[in-house]
A and B are shown apart, each in its own frame.
Chain A
């Protein structure tokens, strides 16, 4: 695929997924936490049904970067863990799949808390 088109579709699909989130916020008064939960669960379901992989193949990071991609990763990790470990996989698959992102967020969060000082939002224009 042409390099330009690759970025173009990443932009359009990723942007569209975010735009859906914005429409939900504006129309339904869902709180941010509820939006995040809905997107991950929706991604897991789409991933389970095998409908999300084609979007990833088509839009690359445009599909993996939004939280729906995180959800589809959970479904995929679950499948792989069960194929490998059987019953135990049901219990290990989810966390194994999301471990990179969650660990990164946790460790970087801790480092930021150690290094940085809270900012004063009222100073900003």
Chain B
């Protein structure tokens, strides 16, 4: 063929359409912000019932996870996510969507090998590397505590 990989790469780069960031970023800001506002409302509600901030914050997470799971089951979360982009990906609702959607999708392969085994296919790495980062911090914190 009379085209070098280099020439091809340049041509391909020229035509790779880029995202319309002036649309995607404000949308992510708006929808992500709204989800956080719902969180703030829940947080205030739980604190109003006399629950401490940390505990109320945990209940807020659980409630948001529940709402996200419900919307995922109804097939609505994905529709919002089409507009929300990172706005629906980054909040804890996005984490819940990442767990619930494979659980539902792979049901056809059975509850053990489908739903059970594939539930953390997207969110698994989040837990692995989140815990690992915390573990490394824990070692540093522990040694620092011994020395201090």
Contacts and interface: CB of A to CB of B under 8 A. Distances in A.
A112 B127 CA distance: 21
Interface in B91-135: 91-96, 98-100, 103-105, 107-108, 111, 115, 119, 122-123, 125-127, 129-131, 133-135
B131 A74 contact: yes
Contacts, number: 285
Secondary structure of the B contact surface, majority rule: helix
Contacts of A21: 28, 32, 85-87, 89-90
A77 B94 CA distance: 22
Contact of B99 (A90, A97, A106, A118): A106
A98 B130 contact: yes
B3 interface: no
A100 B46 CA distance: 16
A116 B138 contact: no
12 contacts: A17-B32, A19-B29, A19-B86, A36-B126, A41-B133, A62-B36, A64-B60, A65-B39, A65-B61, A108-B66, A108-B100, A109-B115
